[in-house]
Amino acid sequence: MIPQMKLIILDFDGTLCDTRSTIVKTLQMTMQHFELEVLDEQTCATSIGLPLKEAFQKLHPQLDDEEATACADTYRIIFEDNKDALKPKLFPEVLETLRELAARGYDLTIASSRSNKSLLGFVEETGLSDIISMVVGANDVVNAKPHPEPVLKIMEARGVKAVETLVVGDMHYDINMGRNAGAYTCGVTYGNGSREELEGCNADFVIDRFSELISLNLN
């Protein structure tokens, strides 16, 4: 790990937990409910990482604010049913790697566009609550990714500087959020974003396995 690093800010969906199928299915069911064009999986996945209202407006630009808000509200209702039927799991090596990083003294936190309530529930269910020191969800900030507010909020609360912070995520929203805050960034290729996308937004590191976090080095 980078010698001066103290704080690691992790995305959740597509970085720690494989929630893609649950999210995509819920997006599609919401589109069907409102008689919108039901988009394919790959197209839906491009919106993962955005707050729900923005996600629906990205996927269906014709929606006004009121319509997009209604879609987001309905999505949350449907998601509560889907998350039990399509229970997401942590990606390989995530739990073991996080426990090793915690044992080495790194401060582990999460910044997500998911609502705080949903996020805290997943953190508890996946066994991460004892190693994650702080969780920032969509309703904890005014400005969501790629705005730096989530990262700045965590850095301030944990008393850590940008040069001591690494932001890890699977989408360009995560990388741009970290870069906008002046932090180091690391993209993961096994989630919803491609290596080309992550390298294209100038991530400092791009890894294929979560366990590679342990050996990151600037040299």
Q: What is the pLDDT of residues 181-202, one digit of tens each?
A: 999 999 999 999 999 999 999 9
For 135, residues 6+ apart whose C-beta sits below 8 A from its C-beta are: 109, 110, 112, 116, 119, 120, 123
Catalytic positions: 11, 13
**Of all residues in the chain, what percent carry a pLDDT higher than 70?**
99
What mean pLDDT comes out for the span 84-94?
85
- The phi, psi pair for 136, rounded to 5°, reads -120, 120
Q: What is the pLDDT of residues 29-83, one digit of tens each?
A: 999 999 999 999 999 999 998 999 999 999 999 999 999 999 999 999 999 888 7
Q: What is the pLDDT of residues 203-218, one digit of tens each?
A: 999 999 999 999 997 6
Distance CA 52, CA 153 (A): 21
What mean pLDDT comes out for the span 143-163?
97
| Range list of H helices, 19-64 | 20-33, 41-45, 52-59
Enter the pTM of the model: 0.90
Taking 70 as the threshold, does the pLDDT of residue 219 lie above it? no
